[in-house]
Amino acid sequence: MRASGGSVWLGVEWGARASVSAVSRRADGRADDELRDVKITRGFTTHPAGSVLVEFGQTRVMCTASVTEGVPPWRRDSGLGWLTAEYAMLPAATHTRSGRESVKGKVGGRTQEISRLIGRSLRACIDLAALGENTIALDCDVLQADGGTRTAAITGAYVALSDAVTYLAAAGKLADPQPISCMIAAVSVGVVDGRVRLDLPYEEDSRAEVDMNVVATDTGTLVEIQGTGEGATFPRSTLDKMLDSAFAGAERLFAIQKEALALPYPGTLPELSAKK
């Protein structure tokens, strides 16, 4: 919250109040409430119905949305569609190469947790009944990691999902031509050096006193909050300030998503192919 005189009051780790300069900068030059440079590129690959490269600073994630006929066995004959998600990191996405989980023969707990988070987040915005018995599979692959990979994946996956819905509508496979009820974006926020900071890179995330991921809708509601006191407890007042910062960041992400989606569909739609 901005106070008179050009200062910003922020809750610190123990709930105390401190006046800090509004021009204070982080190691990467950003203000505390500033997102990294965010870019969304649609049509990043050719084959999926939706394909996006999303960049949050040095974090880069490829998000694809593939459409398949049919649903899981437990969903059959329900008339409902399904949306699922998988998350993975390329071996050289971080400073130290990590082996592929497919080679190890076991999917790690973190990978499963993030995959489920992405699926839950995107199912919150779509009417599965409108899909018929079709499945949309979201695949989020981290090409380069510098903090906030799960929030970048959710933000990019929403755009890929939107393109997949456009594809399904063109193919005449939707019971409702507009099955998406709201926009979805996610952003990280934390307390670093006693200050609430938005969109943490790895350098800040690795030493944050409090770390939180927020998934929000453009209607002002929340899908999920993941928050942890990494080094100590934190008061309700700090939580409120973190949520205020996250909501403001999400609003900026919605604007970037809208700008990306304002461009024409980047591939060839089924109805256009049929006319050739």
Give binding residues as ranges: 110, 148-150
Residue 172 belongs to a domain: yes
Residue 183 belongs to a domain: yes
Give binding residues for phosphate as ranges: 110, 148-150
pLDDT of residue 101: 77
Residue 39: how many other CB atoms lie within 10 Å:
13
**Rounded Cα gap, residues 159 and 51, in angstroms:** 8
**Rounded Cα gap, residues 228 and 146, in angstroms:** 19
> Of 47, 42, 121, which Cα lies nearest the Cα of 84?
121
User: CATH number, domain at 245?
Assistant: 3.30.230.70
230 by Cβ neighbours in 10 Å (0-12 / 13-18 / 19+) ranks as middle
- 118-157 CB burial, b ≥16 within 10 A, e <16: bbebbbbbbebebbebbbbbbbbbbebbbbbbbbbbbbbb
How many domains are there within the chain? 1
Domain of 38, in residue numbers:
2-94+108-263
Q: What is the mean pLDDT of residues 165-189?
A: 96
Residue 257 belongs to a domain: yes
**Rounded Cα gap, residues 215 and 2, in angstroms:** 24
Residue 274 belongs to a domain: no
Residue 100 belongs to a domain: no
> Of 17, 10, 11, 13, which Cα lies nearest the Cα of 233?
13
**pTM for the model:** 0.88
Residue 162: how many other CB atoms lie within 10 Å:
23
Q: What value does the mean pLDDT of the chain take?
A: 89
pLDDT of residue 217: 99
Residue type, position 93, single letter = A
Residue 70 belongs to a domain: yes
pLDDT in tens, 103-156: 777 788 989 999 999 999 999 999 999 999 999 999 999 999 999 999 999 999
Q: What is the mean pLDDT of residues 224-231?
A: 92
pLDDT in tens, 186-204: 999 999 999 999 999 999 9
Give the 3-state secondary structure of the chain. Answer: CEECCCEEEEECCCCCEEEEECCCCCCCCCCCCCCCCEEEEECCCCCCCEEEEEEECCEEEEEEEEEEECCCHHHCCCCCCEEEEEEEECCCCCCCCCCCHHHHCCCCHHHHHHHHHHHHHHHCCECHHHHCCEEEEEEEEEEECCCCHHHHHHHHHHHHHHHHHHHHHHCCCCCCCCCECCCEEEEEEEEECCEEEECCCHHHHCCCCEEEEEEEECCCCEEEEEEEECCCCCCHHHHHHHHHHHHHHHHHHHHHHHHHHCCCCCCCCHHHHHCC
Residue 202 belongs to a domain: yes
Residue 101 belongs to a domain: no
